[in-house]
Structure 1
Amino acid sequence: MSEVRLSGVTAGHGTETVLDDVALTVHEGRTTAVLGASGSGKTTLLRVIAGFMRPWSGTVAVGGRTVTGPGVWVPPERRGVGYVRQDGGLFPHLSVAGNITFGLPRPRRRHRERVLELLDVVGLPAAVADRFPHQLSGGQQQRVALARALAPRPGLVLLDEPFSSLDTGLRASTREAIGRALRATGATALLVTHDQDEALSFADEVAILARGRFRQVGSPDAVYRDPVDVAVAEFLGEAVVLAGTADGDRVTCSLGVLPVQGAVPGGEVDVMVRPEQLSLGPAGSGRLDALVRGVTYFGHDAVVELDLVDAAAHTLRARVLGVTLPAPGDRVGVSVTGPVRAFARGGHPVSERVAAAAS
């Protein structure tokens, strides 16, 4: 296990800056997910840590040893870093056992017990050891790729969107299996992804990367429930954003007078409500009345689009259980569960700030 520490890392291609004075710490034995849109610098970050790319400035330390810095450059093969690519990158002409032991010293490649140990760690039966990659499912191939990365007992494992090429069901099961394997070995891991659900469910910590800089780093719960601004709030899941006025620990908006989480700037604010905070009930029951515009059904839950009856141009999206649902045209009551988040009204429209965070 190794702590990873980046400080002042700036990197790019030609004259284009991709990472801009980045700092990040991945604590020993923990998993951090770097979440960002395409072009935000996620893969460049991994390449710099792995040693596949030299940054223009800054330092990278793995396990307390500087591997990149002024006058210091440790080649990739000597960094003690495992790398799992998006497509797994298995060698088609080698068996599973051959792939797993490929990065080991030649005398150790014949140690069958290490292969069987790693197959057990990643949740695969011993019988697959003699199969070839084309005889495995996509999820099995990714587990073998992780086993290969873990074989030399690296201090750090880098995961470059390893689940994105899998279908939905296989993605979830493979993600769970790889998460268990990383915890079982106590490995320090850094995952890059553009999938919000993946980042929130897989990692101990989430780092939001936009335009080559980290906007927020924290636990999944903290980043989701207490985003630093509206841009991060809307990038990390759905959000209902309304104009409001703050006064003490309360905010007034079209949903009524609501309690606020955290420090509240006075005066005009943007109010953020998560769709799952909107609760539906019978119309005229002391709640705000709304008309149902549409229902999008997902099985386990559904998104209900609503127009508030007494607030023109206010369309809401509520996420509710998919057991009993209203129909388009129904009149329902709407209330808010839990505190909301408020942000000082910025100099740019919300839509522009969201676009900036996702670009």
Structure 2
Amino acid sequence: MSELKIHGVSAGYGRETVLDDVALTVAEGSTTAVLGGSGSGKTTLLRVVAGFLRPTTGTVTVDGRTVAGPGTWLPPERRGVGYVRQDGALFPHLSVAGNIAFGLPWPRQRHHDRVLELLDLVGLPAAVAERHPHQLSGGQQQRVALARALAPRPGLILLDEPFSSLDTALRTATREATARALRATGATVVLVTHDQGEALSFADEVAILKAGRFRQVASPRTVYREPVDAEVAEFLGDALLVAGSASDGRVACRLGTLPTAHGSDGDVDVMIRPEQLTLTRPGAGELDAVVRDVAYFGHDAVVELDVTGGESRDLLRSRVLGVDAPAPGELVGVSVVGPVRTFPRVLGTRDGRRSDSLGVG
């Protein structure tokens, strides 16, 4: 296991700065997901840590040893870091066993037991050892790539969007198998991803990266329930933002007078997650709404609600159990459950939604 410390790191390509004075500490044996959109600097960060790119400023320390910094530069093979790319990057001419043993000392024929141990660790049968990459499914290839990265027993593992090319069912199964294998080794892990659900479910901490800088680094629960600002709130999932006025732990807005948590007073934007909106019979909630549309997923459903009153109109989204989903056109009552997060009102808020966002373009 190895603690990773990144301090004051800037890096880029030519005259373009991609990372701008970033700092991040990943505790020994923990997993941090670096979450951001395309061009945010996620992969550049991994390349700096792995040793594929020199930072222009700052230091990178792995297990107490400086691997990059002023006057210091260790090549990738001397850092004790495992790297799993998005495409796996297996060698097509080698068998599964040959791929896994590639990073081990010669002679490789002595590593049969280690190969079988790693195949079992990543949830693959021993029979695949003699197959070649083209004979495996995408999920199996990614597990082999993980086994190859784990073979030399590195203390730090870097995962560069390793599940993004897999279909939904395969992605979930492969992610779960990967998480089990990494927990079993006790390695320190950094995952970069643009998938919010993946980051929240996979990691002990989530680091939100935008335009080369970290916006928030905290536990999955904290970044989701207590985002640092409205942009981060919307990036981490559906978030209705409505205008309100807050004081003394409560905020008045279109959805009623609600308790607040860790928020601002005065003129604010009120963040409400879809799962905080519960549906009741008409007249039993803070307001009534007409069901405009229902996206049904089996285990749950997202209900789009049309709330019209006076000269204003709000479109709300509620997430409910699939068995409780109403029908389009139905009149329902709407209540807000739990405290809400508030942010200082900023320019760009219009009709209860922000006109700018982190995006995932």
Equivalence for 2:24: 24
- Aligned pairs for 1:58-207 (under 5 A) are 58-207=58-207
CA drift at 1:267: 1.1
334, 350, 354: which is aligned to 1:351? 354
Whether the aligned pair in 2 keeps the contact of 1:230 and 1:353 (CA below 8 Å) is no
CA drift at 1:324: 2.9
1:318 aligns with 2:321: no
CA drift at 1:107: 2.6
CA RMSD of aligned residues (A): 1.3
Question: Residue type of the partner of 2:102?
Answer: F
Post-superposition CA distance 1:48-91 (Å, at most 9, x none):
00000011111000000000000000001000000001011111
1:308 aligns with 2:311: no
Post-superposition CA distance 1:214-241 (Å, at most 9, x none):
0000110111000000000000111011
Question: Residue type of the partner of 1:338?
Answer: G
Structure 2 length-normalised TM: 0.96
Distance 1:286 1:107, change over 3 A: closer
CA drift at 1:292: 1.1
Structure 1 length-normalised TM: 0.97
CA drift at 1:347: 4.0
CA drift at 1:286: 4.3
In structure 1, C-alpha distance between the alignment counterparts of 2:348 and 2:283, rounded to whole Å: 37
Whether the aligned pair in 2 keeps the contact of 1:204 and 1:220 (CA below 8 Å) is yes
Deviates more, 1:51-60 or 1:308-317: 308-317
CA drift at 1:109: 4.7
Determine helix, strand or coil for the equivalent of 1:106: coil
Determine helix, strand or coil for the equivalent of 1:164: coil
Question: Residue type of the partner of 1:272?
Answer: M
Determine helix, strand or coil for the equivalent of 1:308: strand
1:252 aligns with 2:244: no
Equivalence for 2:232: 232
Distance 1:269 1:358, change over 3 A: farther
CA drift at 1:287: 3.6
Identity of aligned residues (%): 71
1:2 aligns with 2:2: yes
Equivalence for 1:277: 276
Deviates more, 1:292-301 or 1:23-32: 292-301
Distance 1:286 1:215, change over 3 A: closer
In structure 2, C-alpha distance between the alignment counterparts of 1:101 and 1:136, rounded to whole Å: 18
Large movers: runs of 4+ above 4 Å: none
Whether the aligned pair in 2 keeps the contact of 1:207 and 1:214 (CA below 8 Å) is yes
Question: Residue type of the partner of 1:234?
Answer: E
Post-superposition CA distance 1:189-220 (Å, at most 9, x none):
10000000000011111000000000000110
Distance 1:225 1:93, change over 3 A: same
Determine helix, strand or coil for the equivalent of 1:223: helix
CA drift at 1:321: 1.1
Determine helix, strand or coil for the equivalent of 1:111: helix
CA drift at 1:348: 4.2
Question: Residue type of the partner of 2:301?
Answer: A
Aligned length: 357
Determine helix, strand or coil for the equivalent of 2:39: coil
CA drift at 1:110: 2.3
In structure 2, C-alpha distance between the alignment counterparts of 1:223 and 1:12, rounded to whole Å: 27
Whether the aligned pair in 2 keeps the contact of 1:210 and 1:358 (CA below 8 Å) is no
Whether the aligned pair in 2 keeps the contact of 1:102 and 1:109 (CA below 8 Å) is no
CA drift at 1:15: 1.5
Whether the aligned pair in 1 keeps the contact of 2:285 and 2:334 (CA below 8 Å) is no
Distance 1:286 1:21, change over 3 A: closer
Deviates more, 1:60-69 or 1:132-141: 132-141
Deviates more, 1:337-346 or 1:285-294: 285-294
Determine helix, strand or coil for the equivalent of 1:276: helix
Equivalence for 1:56: 56
CA drift at 1:266: 2.0
Unmatched 5+ stretches in structure 2? none
